[in-house]
Structures are given as structure tokens and as C-alpha cells.
Structure 1
Amino acid sequence: MSDDSPIPDDEEEVSEVLSGESEGAGVLTGESEGELAVVVEKPRAQQAIDALTDEGVYDADRRVRAYGDGGVSIPVTAVPETVDFHEVVRQVGDPRLRTLADHLRERGWTGAEVDRAPSSWAVVGSVILVDVGDAPRPAEVGEALLDLHGEADTVLQRHGIAGEHREPNVSVLAGEGDTETIHTEHGTRYALDLAKVMFSPGNKEERSYMGDRVGDDETVLDMFAGIGYFTLPMARADADVIAVERNPTAFQYLLENARLNDVTDRVQPYRADCRDVVDGVSVDRVVMGYYDAYKYLDSALDALEPGGVLHLHEATPEDLIFERPIDRLEAAASDRGRSVEVLDTRRVKSYSEGVDHVVVDARVD
């Protein structure tokens, strides 16, 4: 950890070591109850916070703090039973400032300046992604976000996504400047470089949803796999996934993430245009996680078995939700003498003003 880490030094923050367990929970006496925290290595901080949140013991009212050489103490309401840690400690000090506005006011920002600060951002592993807009003193916004999220060490300013491979345009706003990280969602681990490949935090529930939809030993074609956004949850749910990605950087992370999640035996990766892979392929399910996926419907339908399920993503204007993607799917199926039964429709997130990211799930006979 660098000397200029935004997390306060541990000497003033931790008063007492209560137990030292490498796995599971230590047994604490009643007099030890109070401002508890568990110590983990800093690279594991976000993964541990996610797991502690899932267990229901993460204390969001207190700060994540530095601890020792390369560790952090994460506040908890009780000793966790399912999360590995090094030791349990007691934290002292002021409660966490709960909002970005609190941190900016502490830096002397006026009410009018605070009103111009960003209202949303995303923590992806150890990196914070934010669009500061017209906020004054962007670097102070970055430092305040690091104070707010002690598990992070870098803040990136988003400048959009462009190019054939939808590559992100970002710049370092504050912190160490390390853009490579490992992000954990619902037990799935994603290694990625946020300066090189796209990651949409707003798709979190959709990624989890796909892991819940597939059946054991089901064969799935993921036509736009990226770093494994949908491939990994599905493979972890025991589906066999043909994962196609043409961006060479994203493809390398796809391979790494299959190993990281121990699903290499469930993932068949191809660095190619998905239209060049479908010949001779026969699958139970097709995932089309790309805003212009409708352009590839012919290839998707060629690969999909009768009675199989297709998940069509699209960026759709509000006045055409869900009519346009359904019409496109039905037209492509009709050209092949096939019929469509719509199983589900949902909005994933806002794509831009007046346009939403939507998904249509359909069975195609």
C-alpha cells in the first residue's frame, strides 16, 4: 500500500485484537461485543465486503480502514460465519461519513458546489468509475470518493465508450491509478482492466439472472461473451457454454476468468466473429448480449434447437419498448418457418435519455 493511501493509518483506528482465525469465526465473549471488524488483505476487500453483505453482517455505517502492512479492517455487526478472515479487531473512531456530500462539505464545498457533484458512481473491485460532469475541482471529488470507499484505491473518470470493440475511454482522477482489478458478484469473479474493456455495473442483476435460468448440462451459445459477463454465471451453474468474443483483450480476460472461476471444463472459448462459429452448432439456449444483436438473429436461429430459448438484448426508444425487439425476432423466425413464444420482457437499465436497455426472452419452435 502506498504512503499516500486515502485510508487512515490503523494505529489510531484499531484498539484491540480480539481473535485471530484464518478461517471462519472466532468465539467472542459478551464484553468483546461492539465496534467489530474483520481483517483481510486489501486485494480481497471488495470480495469480502460482498460476501459479508450477503451474510448480512457488513456494517455500512462505519469505514473500511487500513490495517497493518497491506491489510484492511472491514466493519461488521457480528463475527461472520461464512467469510474467511485473518483476525477480528475492535475499531474506534468517528462513524463513517455516509455520503459524498458529507465528504465534500468537510472539504469546504458550498451547498451550490455540492449540488453539482455527481449523484452516482460504481465501485468495480478496487476501482471507482464516475462521471464528474461539471462538478468543480474534480480531483477533490475523486479523493472524497476514496475516503467514502476505503476498499478502493483508484478513481476513474468516464469519458464514454467508442470503437468497433466498444472500448472505454477513461482517465485517472485520484488514487494509485491501477486500472486492473478483480470484481466479485454473487460469487462470480471477474478479472478485468477497466481502461481496456467495458464493464456495466447496471447489468449486475441480469448477469445473476442468467446463472439462475440455465439447467444442468444445458448447452448455451453466448454470442458476445466479452470477459465472460453471462458465460461465467451460466458455467458456474453447470451449463456448457460456447463463448465467442472477437475483441482480443476481452478474450484474454475471458480465458483468465474461466480459470479464475474453475469452469474451464464448461467453457468453449472462440476468438472469432460469432457468425463464423455457428456452422454445425446446435444449442439449447442463445444469449445475445449486444445492443445491435438483432443484426445477428439469422445466425442465432441457425444454432438454436427447436424449442430452445433465446435472450435478445437491445437499446430501444421508450415508445418502441418492447414492440421493436419482439417484431424483429418474430420476423427473423418467420423467414425460417419458425414460431416465437415470448416468455419474459424486462428493462435492464437506462441506456441514454429516452432509450432503455431491454431484454426479450423467447422460446423458438
Structure 2
Amino acid sequence: MAFKQILIENLKSKIDEDKLHFLPSGFQRIGDIIVLNLNKEVLKYKKEIGKIVLNNFKVRSVCLKEGGITGTFREPQISVIAGDKCTVVTHFENGCYYNLDIKKIMFAKGNLSERVRIAKQVRHDEIIVDMFAGLGYFSVPIAKLGKPKKIYAIELNPVSFKFLKENLSLNKIEGIVEAINGDSKEEVLKLVENGVKADRVLMGYLPPPKEFLPYAMKIIKKKGFLHYEDLIRTEYVDEDVGKAMKLISDAAAAEGLKVKLLLAKRVKGYAPKIEHYVLDIAVF
């Protein structure tokens, strides 16, 4: 039976008939926790909905997404509506394990294919700098699925950094990935001073980290690759990609480099008429 139909069958005697179509048709599963989005029309039934989901699926907890990402460290707004109150979970995808607290750290399953796509591009013995590593969204699958020589995974958020360290151990990749707790601007300069040059730089952060572009260009090699994430208006894709490329080109020129756009790829929707894009860029 479909998810929505399960909810309808269990709630049709408690909810007005004209409200039933507002029930969710799907959910996000992270490890053994289910996360729901609920329409305001059925929000007052959240506890009942949580119990139904808990009773029909083999999960430990059911959580409600209450809003968007907030704060400097982009924390999700999530509450437990049924089951265990602990929100620390181990999630498994594509041969990789991720420990995280879903109340404190964002985990976008919509980026799953993107994590794999980037990992498959990595060539043998590459040196990679992940400027916004989080809990290892890209560094972990690249180390597990690709064959890099070294990944420098930089993360400012102390909570994310804690889980990043755990995930390196969990996936047995501590010898490949060096976790660095600090601001990317400062840490990239330290790496440059120590003679590090990257074959590939990842800038997987939203809103787009424009002010970090000069630092990415300081550490990237000629014939290297940059992966830059941006927010693009649905009706102005060419214009907005062009603006992003101008910023990237200017940052490259300051270091005596040139760039070429290889691919502008839509990752997922972000907001009404706004799309999450990644730009694959060759540096030469």
C-alpha cells in the first residue's frame, strides 16, 4: 500500500474528508529515522501521523521538518513527533557510512547522485581540497569510490567536524582524508604555504561561497578542476551561469589562470523558481 494511502486508511475517521488530500505522499529516510514535511492543514495531527508511521515502518523515530535551514552553520529545524528522542543516526548509502545528528546537521539525500558523480570523476592519485567538507558529504564517497592520493577536508562547524572525524574512522579512510577544523580562507593559505597544490577543489556550499573563490584559485593546479555550487533562477539559467563564470574567471585571472565551463548541472530545486546547480570547471 502506498504511503499516503496508509495514512488515509488510519486517519479517515479522525480528519475531515476535505483535509485528507493534504496528507504527505512521501518521506525522507535517514538511517532508521523518517523525516516528514506536513502541510499546515494537517499539522495539528502530527502526533497521530507520527505514531502511524512508526507502527507501519521499521524505524526508530519519526521527525517533522518545521522550517528551513538557519544560522551560520545552517542547522535544520526538526522535532521528534514519535519514537526515540535521540536524533543521532548512522546512514548508509553507496557503500559509505555517515554518522550525524539530524537536528544539528543538514543531510540532503537529493544530492546523492551528485556525490557519486563527482567521486567517479576523480582520477588516480589526485590531491583534493574540500573547502566545505561538512560531515564528509563528498570527501567520504570520493575516498571510498575514487582513488585519490590525498583529500584535505576543511570544516568550520565544530559539530560537523566531530562527525567528519567519526565518519573517516567509520569508513576506514583516515589515511586518505585529513580533517581540518577551521575557516577555509585561513586553512587554504596554510596549505599553500606548505606546498600543497590541488588537482581538484570542491566548493559545495550554499548560498554560493563567492568570497572564497580567490582562495580556491590560489591552491588549484593548472589543468585542475573546480566544482562550484550556485543558486540559479529557473527562467534565467544562461544569464546566471554567465554571472557566476565571470566571478570565477576574475578570481582565476588574478592568479594567472584561465577557466572553461565543462558542465552546468541542475542538482535539485531550492526554492520557487530557484534551482541548485553545480558548475564543473576546468582550470588552465
1:111 to partner: Cα distance: 4.3
1:341 is aligned to 260
2:205 is aligned to 290
C-alpha contact 1:312 1:325 (8 A) present in aligned 2: no
C-alpha contact 2:140 2:171 (8 A) present in aligned 1: yes
Is residue 153 from structure 1 mapped to residue 60 from structure 2 by the alignment? yes
Is residue 358 from structure 1 mapped to residue 273 from structure 2 by the alignment? no
C-alpha contact 1:99 1:148 (8 A) present in aligned 2: no
C-alpha contact 1:98 1:148 (8 A) present in aligned 2: no
Moved more, 300-309 or 126-135: 126-135
Question: Residue 116 of structure 1: which of 10, 17, 22 is its match?
Answer: 22
In the alignment, the residues of structure 1 paired with residue 281 and residue 17 of structure 2 have an alpha-carbon distance, to the nearest angstrom, of 49
CA deviation map 1:278-335 (0-9, x unaligned): 1213110000001222221000010100110000001222234233322322232233
In the alignment, the residues of structure 2 paired with residue 328 and residue 118 of structure 1 have an alpha-carbon distance, to the nearest angstrom, of 41
In the alignment, the residues of structure 1 paired with residue 197 and residue 236 of structure 2 have an alpha-carbon distance, to the nearest angstrom, of 32
1:225 to partner: Cα distance: 0.2
1:148 to partner: Cα distance: 4.3
Is residue 249 from structure 1 mapped to residue 159 from structure 2 by the alignment? yes
**One-letter identity of the residue aligned with 2:29:** V
**One-letter identity of the residue aligned with 2:34:** I
**One-letter identity of the residue aligned with 2:27:** W
C-alpha contact 2:7 2:23 (8 A) present in aligned 1: no
Local SS of the residue matching 1:167 = coil
CA deviation map 1:220-262 (0-9, x unaligned): 0000000000000111123221000010010010000000001
Over 4 Å off, 4+ runs: none
CA deviation map 1:206-232 (0-9, x unaligned): 111122111222110000000000000
Compared CA separation, residues 135 and 121, structure 1 to 2 (3 A): farther
**One-letter identity of the residue aligned with 2:187:** V
C-alpha contact 2:70 2:77 (8 A) present in aligned 1: yes
In the alignment, the residues of structure 1 paired with residue 283 and residue 123 of structure 2 have an alpha-carbon distance, to the nearest angstrom, of 17
Moved more, 268-277 or 173-182: 173-182
Question: Residue 129 of structure 1: which of 35, 52, 62 is its match?
Answer: 35
1:105 to partner: Cα distance: 2.1
> Aligned Cα RMSD in Å?
1.6
1:141 to partner: Cα distance: 2.0
TM-score between both structures, scaled by the size of structure 1:
0.70
For structure 1, which runs of at least 5 residues remain unmatched after alignment?
1-96
1:176 to partner: Cα distance: 1.6
Question: Which of the pair is proportionally richer in helix?
Answer: 2
Question: Residue 233 of structure 1: which of 128, 141, 149 is its match?
Answer: 141
In the alignment, the residues of structure 2 paired with residue 319 and residue 288 of structure 1 have an alpha-carbon distance, to the nearest angstrom, of 24
Question: Residue 302 of structure 1: which of 196, 215, 218 is its match?
Answer: 218
1:276 is aligned to 186
C-alpha contact 1:284 1:304 (8 A) present in aligned 2: yes
Alignment of 1:123-272 (within 5 A): 123-136=29-42, 137-150=45-58, 152-159=59-66, 160-236=68-144, 237-239=146-148, 240-272=150-182
**One-letter identity of the residue aligned with 2:227:** H
In the alignment, the residues of structure 2 paired with residue 310 and residue 293 of structure 1 have an alpha-carbon distance, to the nearest angstrom, of 13
C-alpha contact 1:118 1:135 (8 A) present in aligned 2: no
C-alpha contact 2:3 2:25 (8 A) present in aligned 1: no
In the alignment, the residues of structure 2 paired with residue 226 and residue 205 of structure 1 have an alpha-carbon distance, to the nearest angstrom, of 17
C-alpha contact 2:4 2:26 (8 A) present in aligned 1: no
Q: Which has the larger radius of gyration?
A: 1
1:110 to partner: Cα distance: 5.0
C-alpha contact 2:130 2:151 (8 A) present in aligned 1: yes
Local SS of the residue matching 1:300 = helix
